[in-house]
Amino acid sequence: MCSSDLPTRNLPAMAAIASTLADHDQSQLLTPPPPPEKQEDFLAKLKALDYPKLKSTFETSLSQSGESRNLAPFKDVTDVASLSAETAAGYRADGLANIAQGKTCALLLAGGQGTRLGSSSPKGCYNIGMPSNKPLFQYYCERISAVKRLAAAHAGVDEATVRLPFVIMCSHATSAETIAFFEKHDNFGLPKDQVIFFNQGTMPCFTLEGKLMLAAPGELAEAPDGNGGMYVALRESGVLTRLQKEGVTGIFQFGVDNCLCHVAEPTFLGFCQAQGADCAVKTVAKLHAHESVGVLALVNGKPEVVEYSELSKEMAEATDANGALLYSASHICVNWFSVAFVAGFMDEIAAGGMPWHVAKKKIPTVAPDGSAVKPEVPNGIKLELFIFDTFPRARKLVALQVPREEEFAPVKNAPGSSSDSPDTARALYSQLSRRRLLAAGATVSGDEGALVEVSPLVSYAGEGLESYADKALQAPVHLEK
């Protein structure tokens, strides 16, 4: 199409963009032409793009994705069950003291599009169907309130004086609805000045051949830049500086889709502190050799998370002298970073120092005649940064292995799926609540499948249930403060 064919309010600007696009083989972005009301924004957007950089990023990412790497097991994993009671209690006490002193923030990754779950709202708004009907966001806020209460009691201070900022990373896809949801629910009981939102960046989507795509006429197809977008966004939003000013020295980071995540879990915080680590990873043991999860491993001598597809059959099945899998420490997106570590490599990251990962996806787009295209098979590529790609930079990275059934209940897939669905998460939450009540001395009768829910406000991690000793409960049970 020649620029004079375009219905336009600003012919010279349009002609200049048409020429730039032609130079970079991206003229498809003007077919169909942008509608007049979108032209100004669209032209500004196209003008701001760095086409040579996008091209080289696309090509480099594609060429790196199949590279073979030198893998070895990562050995520095401490099983929490192997700690003496005294050591575990010491870590917990240090973690609670750290929280009471305002040195920790909780950072939630909530910018993903949650395509597998299939809900149109941000994943954190999702109700997994427990008796309380709480959305995922509420569980995390309540765990923060609960751990603040524990920290205050430990330090002998008033709970209201404990600051534990809750920092939530959204994306253009989730931001407005997430903020409105928190407002509507009064931040689920957290003080407003301790709930901080920031937005990650976006990345244009590409066709399989590397052409930029339209979501609609006059609208670029874009996606969040991956959970590793957290680093640059923390700096660009000013949140990193704010945390530093407030005296926060450690970031407890977690994902939005693990309804059992023990947010700012004190034993882990104390462990990180005692190890003098730059970053730390909470892991769970693989269920079996061929479970499709990323595991911690050494890549060319440095710690990284390695996709299951990168492990050969022999490596996946390899065991140590005790029969334990060598590549077992599964990454569950619960990590800790020292603020100094994150601040230390910001310039390098902003200059493009993290790898982009290639994900082939079904990307809704528009045909040259203006009709909407809803692809049935992957038709394009999203490039994403991963949170764990900074691990190799750590001077010291350690891992704490925790029981899966206590801390990991992922909500990834649509209801009815056999794994990682709201149904499996609900069952795991209920089983944990039931076990904790039994451990406290209660009896729970009723159908095995009837749900049992102990609110985080009643018990953060099994403590505080003494008053239920000798109580005979009948499921379904819902204990709330």
**Cβ nearer to ligand UTP, comparing 250 with 410:** 410
Measure the CA–CA gap between 333 and 354, rounded to whole angstroms.
18
Nearer to ligand UTP, 116 or 471 (CB): 116
What is the binding site for ligand UTP (CB under 6 A)?
109-116, 123, 169, 171, 200, 224, 226-227, 255-257, 333, 412
Residue 422, phi-psi category: left (phi > 0), alpha (psi -120 to 50), beta (remainder): alpha
CB of 127 to ligand UTP, least distance (A): 17
| Between 152 and 264, CB nearer to ligand UTP | 264
Structure tokens at 375: 């692809």
The Cα–Cα gap between 417 and 195 comes to 33
Closest contact distance (angstroms) between CB of 410 and ligand UTP is 8
CB of 384 to ligand UTP, least distance (A): 6
Please tell me the distance from the alpha carbon of residue 263 to that of residue 279, in angstroms, as a whole number: 16
Q: Which is nearer to ligand UTP, 394 or 411 (CB)?
A: 411
Q: How far is the CB of 200 from ligand UTP (least distance, A)?
A: 6
Whose Cβ is closer to ligand UTP: residue 162's or residue 167's?
Answer: 167
Q: Which is nearer to ligand UTP, 76 or 177 (CB)?
A: 177
Min separation Cβ 175 and ligand UTP, Å: 11
Between 95 and 255, whose beta carbon lies closer to ligand UTP? 255
The Cα–Cα gap between 221 and 383 comes to 12
Nearer to ligand UTP, 102 or 122 (CB): 122
Report the residue count for the chain: 481
> What tokens appear for 354 in the block?
């993290």
Nearer to ligand UTP, 176 or 439 (CB): 176
Place of tokens 């970073």: 337
Q: CB of 385: closest distance to ligand UTP in angstroms?
A: 8
Among 340, 331, 231, smallest CA distance to 279 is for: 340
- How near is the Cβ of 263 to ligand UTP at its closest, in Å? 13
- Pick 222 or 278: Cβ nearer ligand UTP: 222
Instruction: Give the C-alpha separation, 80 to 369, whole Å.
Output: 60
Distances (CA, A) of 240 to 74, 129, 262: 30, 35, 23
Query: From its phi and psi, is residue 393 left (phi > 0), alpha (psi between -120 and 50) or beta?
Result: alpha
Q: How far is the CB of 158 from ligand UTP (least distance, A)?
A: 33
Least separation in angstroms between residue 225's CB and ligand UTP is 6
Residue nearest to ligand UTP (CB): 112
State the nearest-atom distance from the C-beta of 352 to ligand UTP, in Å: 17
CA distance 436 to 433: 5
